[in-house]
Amino acid sequence: MLRVLTLATLFPDATRPNFGVFVERQTRGLAAHPDVDLRVVAPVGLPPWPLSRHARFAGLAGVPRQERWKGLDVRRPRFLTLPGTGGRFHARALTRALIPLLTALRRDFAFDVIDAEFFFPDGPAAIALGRHFGVPVSIKARGADIHHWGRAPATARQVIAAGQAAGGMLAVSQAMRADMMALGMSGERIRLHHTGVDLDRFAPGDRSGAKAALGVVGPLIVSLGALIRRKRHDVVIDALAALPNATLIIAGEGPERAALQAQAEARGVAGRVTLLGSVPHADLPALLAAADAMALASDSEGLANAWVEALGCGTPIVIADAGGACEVVSDPAYGRIVARTPEAFATGIRAVLAQAADPIAVRRGAARYTWPANTAALYAHLAGLVSAHG
């Protein structure tokens, strides 16, 4: 029996049900493996009092410290985050918070391996914990953990050192693996580990009926992602000005909401742009299946789950060349990779709409990304680290 401790600061809770939902799904798959016994530690970072009383953190303070979450045994210890430090002390604070918790946990659950699901602060903390408890460590790279934390002055050295010390690493795309190697991490210890998509849920439907139910006439473009600068929803909103019959629905929430709304009004497209806010993951298949195209102009990605979920619904994608874009859009039926400009996105969306690819042909682009394959690869990777550790 392989005893796995999954460490994930990127993990859902009652106040953030969509936060790291793909990490949750991967972990549930591994926990269901017949040869795995698994516990989850999902730390919650909070600033010192009185900042912790701010509305942004009030809900997190009330999250249970231990609970059953969708069949998983989850512990949610708190660790201190210091504003204005660029994250410099996050990993150290996380390590200090976890040593007593894991010492107690090991009395009943002598975990064989630590599976860190994000490179920062999870990765450096996992390396320190692995040394303390004498177990191997795996760290997974997903996107911003490498592209931001791996280059930020306050944290880059910690991220790189963690990668160099890890028993093994996982990358969501070949492009991510190349980015990790460029930072000085050993390519020999980085295994490609694709995300999965539930093809029973993310499936083509009655597109015309679904659009009518949404009150949409004409082409529907959907974009998924937090309303943050890195997702570049502004590019797609500007592109809409050159697509006079199209409607854009953006599913996500974040600090850029007011700016994006103002931009839509300034471009004269506010009547054709809907900012839905946060949408439960369970409701995304219906939205994606209604769309004629999914567009996302992100500055950086690893391999976005939204890309694969759209393809599963038979909806072609128009995306910028970020992360594993070329690995996903490997056939014209799956969509277009375009420059990160409004003009290029408008052109790419027009091409996809004119092509009118068969949804079944589009869906083939998602067939490579399944949760059973994800589970099998993760189990083999972690079991191999334990075997090599001896």
Listed in order, strand segments (DSSP E) in 24-100 are 36-41, 44-46, 66-69, 72-75, 78-80
CA–CA–CA angle 60, 65, 67 (5° rounding): 110
Q: For 248-284, how does the pLDDT look when each residue is reduced to its tens digit (9 = 90+)?
A: 999 999 999 999 999 999 999 999 999 999 999 999 9
For 207-366, CATH number?
Answer: 3.40.50.2000
Per-residue confidence band for 390, with pLDDT thresholds at 50, 70 and 90: confident
Calculate mean pLDDT across residues 103-108. 97
CA–CA–CA angle 304, 305, 308 (5° rounding): 100
Say whether 207-366 and 2-196+370-389 share the same fold: yes
* Domain locations along the chain: 2-196+370-389, 207-366
Which residue type does 291 have?
Answer: A
Strands 293-296 and 273-277: unpaired
Q: For 281-332, how does the pLDDT look when each residue is reduced to its tens digit (9 = 90+)?
A: 999 999 999 999 999 999 999 999 999 999 999 999 999 999 999 999 999 9
CATH architecture of 2-196+370-389: 3-Layer(aba) Sandwich (3.40)
Name the residue with tokens 């911003």: 144
DSSP reduced 3-state for 145:
helix
Q: Which of 49-53, 99-103, 172-176 has the lowest mean pLDDT?
A: 49-53
pTM: 0.91
